[in-house]
């Protein structure tokens, strides 16, 4: 409004013009007011519905029905227990209850004389006059029998697991001899009941075979994936074998499980002396089927020991060199059916428990008392404090042309597992530089 002041008072004049900004502001304020009212009404209604829902839930809740505990009939001297209802049969009302829910108060029935009785000591449960549901003697006996059965099953499983350690399955193969060609034919048919690997409960088996004692004739089957009963049906023919040689030759099978990322696992082996196969020479070009049990391979080392190794060591601190002489070994286990082995020695130099150098001797064929007489010189790292962080590891290995070489025994100097005669030998070498000191040591696993 626009006005002024006169003698009669202020002069009031009407506003001729209202701006657009004022109108817009009034409209926005009205909209906000309506939104606030609507929001308040919606929240109040939501709260009332939530309160009503909670009250309905509390009314619908019913406490679970409890089974009454076992009680004696008030007017009875017998110590009968109530019989539990059968989980499969129809629900029956106890006598005198009139089909109503049994009362946990133990009230007497209107006709106690009609209650059936069971002689004491028979173990058959009966219902008390009050009709409560209680734990029966039959359930206790059933639980006891179930526990005994579970214990028996567990014992049988443990016994079966112990037997499976030695049960490595069977190998089926065929032999035939062709005298005109001086050829021995071997057919690897199949294997049955091979043990499973722990990782995937199966196996990837294959079979290697060779003729002993010369080991010159060797072959192997293909690998079959994910099976414990592989079927090969593969034929192999070895030429240049006369009838006189048949009596001296043995067929050696090794069953292995292929491993893509590490060494193949040796499942077991078996040996078949051709002299023990009846009618092999007479049945010219006729196949003779045989089935043999696969035996563990590690038993031969466990029963015979691992032998001894004679080594000589010399520490030269001026040149920071360690001289190792592998002299000989003795009392080695029989690694072949011929009673011999093909041993050699591999040596590792370790610094701070890390292998930094290795050497190996030549293979000594068909002997259990090899003489090596080979010398090796190892350079000790410049930062080493003498032999404090230096160690030597010896491995005596049986060489094999077809299968992986098998470690017969180990020996360690200066490492955490150095003990006994090896520890005394190593201390003497460290304290007596420039001296070549030799000693015998038993090989360990």
Are residues 369 and 430 part of one domain?
Answer: yes
Q: Which of 276, 295, 314 is the last residue of a domain?
A: 295
Q: Do residues 226 and 308 both lie within one domain? A: no
Using an 8 Å Cβ cutoff, are 361 and 375 in contact? no
Low-confidence ranges of the chain (pLDDT < 50): 1-2, 61, 68-69, 71-133, 161
pLDDT at residue 237 in the model? 93
Domain-embedded: residue 2:
no
- Residue 113: inside a domain, yes or no? no
208-259 pLDDT, tens per residue?
A: 998 887 777 889 999 999 999 999 999 999 998 888 888 888 898 999 988 8
Q: Are residues 372 and 408 in the same domain?
A: yes
CA distance 48 to 363: 94
Residues 386-400: tens digit of each pLDDT? 888 899 999 999 998
Q: Is 134 domain-assigned?
A: no
Q: What is the CATH number of the domain that holds 245?
A: 2.60.40.150
User: Based on the structure, what is the number of domains in the chain?
Assistant: 2
Q: Exposed (0-12), middle (13-18) or buried (19+): which is 187, by Cβ within 10 Å?
A: middle
Q: Are residues 291 and 306 in the same domain?
A: no
Q: How many CB atoms lie within 10 A of CB 141?
A: 11
Spell 381-405 as b/e; 16+ CB within 10 A means b: eeeeeebebbbbbbbbbbbbeebeb
- Quote the pLDDT of residue 109: 40
0.85 cut: is pTM over it?
A: no
Domain that holds residue 374: 302-442
190 and 238 in a common domain:
yes
Cβ count near 331 (within 10 Å): 13
- H-assigned helices in 126-196: 137-166
Any domain includes 7: no
Domain-ending residue, one of 243, 273, 295: 295
Q: Decide which of 295, 323, 346 is a domain's last residue.
A: 295
Q: Do 262 and 183 lie in a common domain?
A: yes
């Amino acid at each position: 409004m626009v006005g002024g002041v006169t003698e009669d008072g202020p002069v009031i004049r009407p506003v001729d013009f209202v701006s657009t900004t004022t109108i817009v502001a009034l409209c926005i304020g009205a909209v906000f007011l309506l939104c606030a009212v609507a929001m308040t009404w919606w929240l109040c209604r939501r709260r009332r519905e939530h309160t009503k829902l909670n009250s309905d839930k509390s009314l619908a809740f019913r406490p679970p029905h409890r089974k009454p505990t076992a009680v004696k009939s008030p007017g009875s001297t017998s110590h009968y227990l109530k019989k539990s209802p059968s989980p499969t049969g129809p629900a029956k009302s106890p006598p005198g209850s009139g089909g109503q829910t049994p009362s946990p108060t133990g009230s007497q029935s209107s006709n106690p004389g009609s209650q059936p009785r069971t002689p004491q000591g028979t173990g058959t449960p009966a219902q008390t006059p009050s009709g409560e549901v209680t734990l029966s003697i039959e359930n206790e006996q059933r639980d006891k029998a179930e526990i005994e059965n579970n214990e028996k099953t567990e014992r049988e499983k443990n016994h079966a697991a112990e037997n499976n350690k030695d049960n490595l399955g069977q190998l089926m193969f065929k032999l035939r001899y062709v005298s005109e060609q001086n050829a021995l034919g071997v057919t690897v048919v199949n294997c049955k009941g091979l043990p499973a690997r722990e990782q995937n409960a199966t196996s990837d088996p294959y079979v290697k075979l060779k003729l002993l004692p010369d080991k010159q004739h060797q072959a192997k089957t293909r690998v079959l994936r994910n099976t414990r009963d592989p079927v090969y049906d593969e034929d192999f023919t070895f030429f240049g074998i006369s009838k006189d040689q048949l009596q001296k030759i043995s067929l050696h099978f090794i069953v292995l499980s292929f491993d893509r990322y590490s060494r193949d696992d040796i499942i077991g082996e078996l040996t078949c002396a051709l002299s023990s196969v009846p009618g092999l020479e007479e049945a010219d070009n006729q196949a003779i089927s045989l089935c043999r049990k696969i035996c563990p391979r590690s038993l031969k080392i466990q029963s015979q020991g691992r032998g001894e190794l004679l080594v000589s060591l010399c520490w030269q601190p001026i040149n920071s060199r360690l001289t190792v002489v592998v002299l000989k070994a003795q009392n080695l286990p029989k690694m072949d059916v011929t009673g011999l082995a093909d041993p050699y020695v591999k040596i590792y130099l370790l610094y701070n428990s890390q292998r930094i150098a290795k050497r190996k001797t030549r293979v000594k064929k068909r002997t259990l008392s090899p003489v090596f007489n080979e010398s090796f010189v190892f350079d000790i790292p410049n930062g080493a404090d003498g032999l404090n962080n230096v160690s030597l590891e010896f491995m005596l290995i049986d060489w094999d042309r077809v299968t992986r070489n098998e470690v017969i025994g180990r020996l360690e100097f200066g490492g955490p597992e150095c003990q006994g005669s090896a520890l005394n030998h190593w201390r003497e070498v460290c304290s007596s530089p420039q001296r070549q000191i030799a000693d015998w040591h038993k090989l360990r696993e």
